[in-house]
Amino acid sequence: MRDAVIAAAVRTPIGKRNGGLAGLHAVEVSATVLNELIARAGLDPALVEDVHWGNVISIGQQSGNIGRMAVLAAGWPESVPGFTVDRQCGSSQQAISTAAAAVVSGQADIVVAGGVEMMSNVPMGAATVPGTGDMGGPAVERYASELTAPGFNGRFNQGAGAELIAEQYGLSRTQLDEYSVESHERAAAAQDDGLFVDEIVAVRTAAGDVIADEGIRRGSTVEKLATLKAPFLDGGKITAGNASQISDGAAAVLITTSERAAELGMTPLARVHTAVCTGDDPVKMLTGPIPATQLALKRSGLDLGDIAFFEVNEAFAPVPLAWQADTGVSRDKLNPVGGAIALGHPLGCSGARLATTLIHHMRRTGGRYGLQTMCEGGGTANATIYELLE
């Protein structure tokens, strides 16, 4: 039976808003990751049969099928196709799923999956320019009564959804801020210990190489975070301090079969064991990782206890905290080297970034299984289980 293994996984440093990567074109950053990926695998790019590339705000420099543009900018043969995946924040995680499915089904032997988002250059909301109708249209009308709740103003709103989740799970502002501080502390410790070095490719800029994640705030405290205002709801709990950062970056993985990897002399890092996606409440929007995790475990035949580490994207602090409350997973297994609150959340990149970080962490620690899950706009969520290969 064919399988899907990851033969290489790499990412750029995550640039903070208007930081070291901001002057670069999204296609250029994508090309940097693509070329580093095949260099690490020792692979001729002519053997790549498709590139599945995640991106969310596909306008301006990220428009025109950025997956194909990245291939061309990388200097790969024109015979290598590419397409763009939009499952909101889960776009590049979904790209991994579709690439793995293509390999397992025999539609292809070697596929690259990943994604990019340059949020400094293409801001959130840029794609909702005036046209023939508002975003969502009849879908918004279906939930009109629920969208009258404070903070929503008749539209789907992730921040307001995060406020609802915090209320539902009885999470205080202090708990959210404490989680945020811990995320920064874990990321800082991981950076200081060199844990991210193997997964990062330096990005060349006119000002010099960007070699490290820029969003980590050292010395962050609950007291400092308590001074921040809540923008989504008067008297609310969600602030810039306990939410993910606006960021720039790209990440990619190389997916093939065990047999093809052996033929080409590549050493697989991990196997894509199980990949699922499910839908959930689009108003709260961010609770999807809970049923997605349950579905992934059911499909895989594994239990929570079989999973060594979990990456639950830190879009807002209530997301991993609600997930943890439902699953009972210990804190030491959850986002062990920090998450998007500290490292950043370049939307279309984040799924592949989480996969890259998780797989490298599994290889350092010897954990056999790792699970990543991601809340997504519209109330969907992906969950993917990886199995470590020796």
List the catalytic residues: 89, 345, 375
Question: How many CB atoms are closer than 10 A to CB 132?
Answer: 5
For residue 343, give the nearest of 334, 356, 331, 353 by alpha carbon: 353
Local structure of 205: helix, strand or coil = strand
Q: Which two tokens stand for residue 264?
A: 């080409």
Distance of CA 90 to the CA centre of its chain: 6
DSSP-based three-state secondary structure for 255 = strand
Helix %, strand %, coil % of the chain (to 5): 40, 20, 40
CA dist., res. 161 & res. 167, Å (int): 10
Q: Is 387 within 8 Å of 359 (Cβ atoms)?
A: no
Residue the block writes with tokens 């239990």:
303
Residue 54 backbone phi and psi in degrees, to 5: -80, 140
